Chain A
Amino acid sequence: MNDLLAVLWVARKDLLHETRSKATTVATLFFSAVTLVVLAFAIGQDESLLRGAATGALWVALAFAGVISAAQSYQADLEDGAFDHLLTTPVPRAAVYVGKLLANWLFMLLLGLLMLPVTFVLYGAAWPTAWPWLLATLALGTLGFALIAVFYAGLTANLRARESLLPVLMFPIVVPILLASVRASGALVGSDDLALAQGWLRLLVGFDLVYAVLCTAIYHFVVEE
């Protein structure tokens, strides 16, 4: 119970950081919108091509913004040795991880919810009838992404070259997440194929479960020096 309070406070301080440094947060939000626009330009005028690329573009935009936001959440920690100080308190390391995960996941979810309509407008895709499943895909996909992003951002926070290292380390790991999310949302948006989408969602659930347990269990190795 008390650990839960610690989790909520760690999440709260990260979310307060997001809301109180509005410029950075808005920049990250805007960055994904810009990515969507640029990708639409790159794909061209063909409407059926655009429609087919909609979910792929959405997840690329979310992935880029997700990496940035995870790295930024540790940036705030590193200033003035605040995270170091936090880790000298008897808070379980797992609680710190889960708290930061929660904040990052909520941010990515919000980002996804904002980008969904943008994608549908820009890429001319039709809103699927099974839209609750699209939201489920968004939730599971961003969770898997946040699991890895928060873990690896903590690992690279103390290393040189962290800006380029984080995507290099994490993108090969999240390939299944990206593929499954793109395919599942593609199946829903393009063809309303619920059975196909659910097949991919099972992969997402499996990934999320395995990494939730694994990352929480070994996070304390990441923050020690």
Chain B
Amino acid sequence: MPDDAAIALHGLVRGYGRRAVLKGLDLEVSQGKVVALFGANGAGKTTLLRLLATRLRPSGGRALVFGHDVVTSGHEVRRRIATLAVFGGAYATLTAREHLRLDAALRDTPNDDEAFTALLGRVGLADAADALVRTYSSGMRKRLGLARLLAADADLWLLDEPHAALDHDGQDLLDALVAEARGRATTVLMATHERDRSRRLADASLVLDDGRLRLLDPGESP
């Protein structure tokens, strides 16, 4: 088991009550790979992402992020990751800029207002930077999520349906950001239903089916 794998799963099991969702996953993702994760609704994609983000505890087996166990070294894991929640994960009563400042305080990174302005411009929120998120559309919330993702400067991105809610330009922007991330050797794991875009972006595609992971062949449809 090389310690430098971005993600390593060993017999990972997670259930809710009596229902097992992940029934023993064994996976190794090396650093700098972009991986698309397919699977039907309820297949366990979000469960896996939340496990890797230390938000869920495994019922059995282990999950390691850059060699750190998500249960025993949660803090080390959280220093290396950034997440994009399916609905953006923003507070309705804060502005976009305040989210970036909040994140900077939580992550202990510099509070650089000019950089924040540039970042919000990059994701197309320049005009809405100081408006409350509750006035945002769902696509704008997703764009704010992208800005926070970039600001985090993380080594592993965990994206939950990143294309959903974004307009065509937004999806192009997302694809460009992921391609840039690969250039910086950032590892990306994205749960998605967006076949064409995701497969174009990804180095490899995985399918979660009946609680198990399997690799998707290049020609196969998910």
Contact = CB atoms under 8 A, between A and B. Distances in A.
- The residue among B54, B86, B93, B103 with the most chain A CB atoms within 10 A of its own CB is B93
Given A88-B54, A225-B56, A225-B57, A81 B87 contact: yes
B93 to A, nearest CB: 4
A5 B91 contact: no
A88 B53 contact: yes
Interface in B144-191: 152, 158
A86 B107 CA distance: 10
Given A17-B91, A90-B107, A80 B141 contact: yes
24 contacts: A6-B106, A9-B105, A12-B102, A13-B94, A17-B91, A20-B93, A76-B93, A77-B91, A80-B85, A80-B87, A80-B91, A81-B89, A82-B91, A84-B85, A85-B83, A85-B90, A88-B53, A90-B79, A90-B106, A90-B108, A91-B106, A92-B75, A225-B50, A225-B57
Contacts of A12: 102
A142 B86 CA distance: 37
Interface in A1-30: 2, 5-6, 8-10, 12-13, 16-17, 20-21
A82 B26 CA distance: 30
Interface in B66-121: 75, 78-79, 81-83, 85-94, 98, 101-103, 105-108
Contact of B106 (A9, A17, A80, A82): A9
A17 B152 CA distance: 24
B48 to A, nearest CB: 14
Given A85-B85, A90-B78, 13 more contacts: A5-B108, A6-B108, A13-B98, A16-B98, A76-B92, A81-B86, A81-B87, A84-B85, A88-B54, A89-B152, A90-B79, A224-B57, A225-B50
Nearest to B85: A81
Interface of A: 2, 5-6, 8-10, 12-13, 16-17, 20-21, 76-77, 79-82, 84-92, 224-225
Nearest to A223: B55
Contact of B90 (A5, A82, A88, A225): A82
Contacts of B56: 225
B89 A17 contact: no
Contacts of A224: 55, 57
B107 A13 contact: no
B132 interface: yes
Interface in B35-53: 50, 53
A88 B91 contact: no
A76 B91 contact: yes
Nearest to B89: A85
A88 B93 contact: no
B53 to A, nearest CB: 4
Contacts of A6: 105-106, 108
A92 B75 CA distance: 8
Contacts of B57: 224-225
A89 B93 CA distance: 20
6 smallest beta-carbon distances between A and B, as pairs? A85-B89, A9-B105, A91-B106, A90-B78, A80-B87, A89-B106
A60 B107 CA distance: 40
Nearest to A91: B106
B93 A17 contact: yes
Contacts of A91: 106-107
Contacts of B90: 80, 82, 85
